[in-house]
């Protein structure tokens, strides 16, 4: 049985995926659809509720995303948030104006009751981010919350099940945001809360079995979270009908290839094919120093090896990949990237086309409906080790973008050792959970040093650790001096060919997280 559905209608706001995640955290399945999804399509999906998101525009801009007035005749319970709130008022005959000053940040609002605010104190703090506001309500609506600068911070028409809030309940700074969303979903729309991860595993396994029958499935395993969890689910569904192909280009972290192989062959029933091809990559990268060219070569070689292996195995049955929901969403900003069409292979930042001569019966994306945190929850429930499920991001080109200049086997070895020491110290220091990503870099610079009575002329290691919400911007982490001291000591003492350590104190921007 399909889950009850809530639709998040995307008007281009920055928190749209967050709204969808919050809805799911309330136990309600939801999907994000573009604002211009035809009304017949919305109707055909039979959503029990719709949420209009925020957006950067003003309803009076000619180019603003709008919604047909007829939408409101469909009778679907709807909650408008920020721009979505203004749009609801404007479309139904109310008035929107610009404030003399924008309201931004944590703001106190008071409410006068109503279903949305049940169990929410009369006064509470919410997150506001707007310049326009609703100054006159459409007929039949009444305002039920206000702030010092915003006379109508929420309004409703319970008879038509239409509700709106000027603030952002999805943001954690809104003290009772979750309650407000919960009230809308359960008390206004009448959802039962049938989106539960345990059920997800059982129903997906059953669906996969039905879809696949006795055919075979090939999955490209990178060792990252998404492909690992997809492998876990498929293994549970079809066991040995699944073959995972793991291309080890020799640019992984220390012992990582062995860890991935060991984990999957030990934990799961499946065929595991590992292709060790470091030498092939090194040959292709010989003498290459330009960062973009290096990336290109690594990407191209990876797919050459991968497709060749698939040709060798035979493209028999289905092709599976670890695409997750955010990869498939078409955004209301008109960004068409990443919608889940068949025969498109997701590799980190890249979408790669399957070669024409490889023909599978179809593509399977068992995680195509999940957000990253849901993927992790499924991974934990499937018994995939914590270490893998909570893995920090690792770039597709691997250590290739952390060795500046030409990549050689010796430099890979030095960097792997240095990175392992750094990670070990961070792990022991107890600050690991505060860091979003941390790693060592080999800048390919040699400096003079002294060891015992001898002069040395050896490699410099740079260490990088960042804190960030979304990797679009990042700050360098304030690692305590004593941890840095231990790391520096150990790197110089334990890693051969390292005689100096520097800490990268560049934020993003102007730096990027990776060095290349
Ligand atoms: P930058 O260096 O762009 O990195 O600030 C932001 C985040 O993206 C990761 N990164 C990559 N991930 N393939 C990936 O899957 C890549 O080519 C790639 N380049 C950078 C980086 O590790 C950081 O988490």
Instruction: State phi, psi for 396 to the nearest 5 degrees.
Output: -50, -50
Task: Round to whole Å and give the CA distance between 152 and 169.
Answer: 15
Q: Whose CA is nearest to atom 11 of ligand 1?
A: 395
Same domain, 243 and 312: yes
Task: Identify the DSSP state of 403.
Answer: B
User: At which of 188, 217, 240 does a domain end?
Assistant: 188
Q: Is the CB of 34 within 6 Å of ligand 1?
A: no
Same domain, 97 and 201: no
Residue 110 in any domain: the answer is yes
Answer yes or no: is pLDDT of 294 > 90. yes
- Tell me, what's the pLDDT at 351? 53
Q: What is the pLDDT of residues 329-355, one digit of tens each?
A: 765 554 333 333 333 443 444 456 789
Other beta carbons less than 10 A from residue 378's beta carbon: 23
User: At which of 188, 223, 241 does a domain end?
Assistant: 188
Find the mean pLDDT for residues 30-44: 96
Same domain, 456 and 489: yes
Handedness of CA 310, 311, 314, 320 (dihedral sign): positive
Find the mean pLDDT for residues 32-46: 96
Q: Ligand 1 centre and the CA of 447: distance in Å? A: 28
Spatial contact of 52 and 79, defined as CB atoms under 8 Å apart:
yes
Using DSSP, state whether 423 is helix, strand or coil. Answer: helix
Q: Among residues 103, 170, 261, 365, which one is catalytic?
A: 170
Same domain, 214 and 307: yes
- Tell me, what's the pLDDT at 344? 43
| pLDDT, mean over the chain | 92
Task: Give the number of domains in the chain.
Answer: 3
Please confirm, yes or no, whether 157 is among the known catalytic residues.
Answer: no
- Tell me, what's the pLDDT at 101? 78
Residue 401 in any domain: the answer is no
Same domain, 210 and 314: yes
Other beta carbons less than 10 A from residue 349's beta carbon: 10
Please confirm, yes or no, whether 170 is among the known catalytic residues.
Answer: yes
Instruction: Find residue 450's DSSP bridge partners.
Output: 455
Answer yes or no: is pLDDT of 299 > 50. yes
Same domain, 217 and 174: no
Q: Whose CA is nearest to atom 7 of ligand 1?
A: 471
Spatial contact of 508 and 466, defined as CB atoms under 8 Å apart:
yes
Same domain, 151 and 47: yes
Same domain, 229 and 297: yes
Q: Is the CB of 437 within 6 Å of ligand 1?
A: yes
How many Cα atoms sit within 13 Å of 422 on the Cβ side? 27
Same domain, 153 and 211: no
% helix, strand, coil for the chain, step of 5: 35, 25, 40
Please confirm, yes or no, whether 82 is among the known catalytic residues.
Answer: yes
CATH of the domain at 382: 3.40.50.620
Find the mean pLDDT for residues 47-58: 94
- Tell me, what's the pLDDT at 331? 53
Spatial contact of 504 and 464, defined as CB atoms under 8 Å apart:
yes
Look up the domain containing 427 and give its range.
Answer: 408-503
Same domain, 425 and 326: no
Tell me which of 494 and 199 has the higher pLDDT: 494
Q: What is the pLDDT of residues 126-173, one digit of tens each?
A: 999 988 999 999 999 999 999 998 999 999 999 999 999 999 999 989
Q: Ligand 1 centre and the CA of 195: distance in Å? A: 32
Q: Whose CA is nearest to atom 4 of ligand 1?
A: 513
Share of the chain above pLDDT 90, in %: 84
Residue 512 in any domain: the answer is no
Q: What is the pLDDT of residues 238-279, one digit of tens each?
A: 999 999 999 999 999 999 999 999 999 999 999 999 999 999
Task: Identify the DSSP state of 73.
Answer: G
- The model's confidence at residue 102, banded by pLDDT at 50, 70 and 90, is confident
Q: Is the CB of 190 within 6 Å of ligand 1?
A: no
């Amino acid at each position: 049985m399909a889950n009850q559905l809530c639709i998040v209608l995307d008007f281009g706001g920055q928190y749209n995926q967050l709204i969808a995640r919050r809805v799911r955290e309330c136990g309600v399945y939801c999907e994000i659809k573009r604002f211009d999804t035809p009304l017949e399509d919305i109707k055909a999906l039979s959503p029990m509720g719709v949420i209009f998101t925020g957006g950067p525009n003003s309803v009076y801009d000619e180019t603003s995303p709008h919604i047909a007035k007829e939408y409101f005749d469909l009778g679907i319970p709807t909650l408008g948030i920020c721009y979505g709130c203004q749009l609801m008022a404007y479309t139904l005959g109310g008035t929107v104006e610009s404030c003399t000053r924008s309201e931004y940040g944590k703001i106190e609002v008071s409410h006068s009751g109503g279903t949305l605010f049940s169990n929410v104190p009369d006064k509470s703090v919410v997150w506001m981010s707007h310049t326009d506001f609703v100054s006159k309500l459409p007929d039949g609506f009444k305002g039920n919350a206000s702030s010092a600068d915003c006379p109508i911070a929420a309004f409703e028409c319970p008879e038509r099940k239409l509700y709106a809030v000027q603030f952002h309940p999805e943001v954690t700074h809104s003290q009772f945001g979750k309650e407000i969303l919960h009230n809308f979903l359960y008390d206004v729309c009448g959802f039962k809360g049938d989106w539960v991860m345990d059920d997800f595993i059982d129903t997906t396994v059953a669906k996969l079995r039905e879809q696949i029958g006795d055919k075979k499935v090939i999955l490209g395993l990178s060792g990252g979270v998404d492909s690992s969890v997809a492998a876990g689910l498929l293994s549970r569904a079809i066991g040995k009908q699944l073959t995972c192909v793991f291309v080890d280009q020799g640019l992984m972290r220390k012992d990582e290839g062995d860890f991935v192989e060991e984990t999957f062959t030990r934990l799961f029933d499946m065929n595991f094919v590992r292709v060790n091809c470091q030498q092939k990559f090194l040959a292709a990268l010989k003498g290459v120093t330009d960062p973009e060219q290096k990336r290109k070569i690594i990407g191209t070689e990876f797919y050459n090896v991968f497709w060749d292996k698939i040709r060798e195995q035979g493209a028999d049955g289905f092709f599976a990949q670890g695409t997750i929901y955010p990869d498939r969403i078409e955004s209301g900003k008109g960004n068409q990237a990443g919608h889940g069409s068949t025969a498109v292979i997701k590799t980190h930042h890249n979408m790669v086309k399957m070669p024409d001569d490889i023909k599978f019966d179809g593509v399977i994306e068992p995680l195509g409906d999940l957000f990253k945190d849901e993927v992790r929850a499924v991974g934990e429930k499937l018994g995939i080790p914590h270490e893998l499920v909570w893995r920090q991001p690792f770039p597709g080109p691997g250590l290739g973008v952390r060795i500046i200049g030409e990549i050689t086997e010796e430099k890979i070895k030095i960097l792997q050792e240095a990175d392992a020491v750094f990670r070990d110290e961070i792990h022991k220091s107890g600050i690991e959970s505060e860091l979003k990503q941390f790693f060592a870099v080999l800048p390919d610079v040699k400096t003079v040093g002294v060891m015992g009575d001898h002069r040395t002329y050896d490699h410099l290691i740079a260490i990088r650790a960042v804190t960030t919400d979304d990797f679009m911007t990042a700050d360098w982490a304030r690692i305590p001096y004593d941890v840095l001291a231990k790391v520096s000591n150990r790197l110089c003492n334990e890693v051969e060919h390292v005689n100096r350590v520097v800490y990268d104190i560049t934020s993003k921007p102007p730096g990027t997280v990776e060095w290349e």
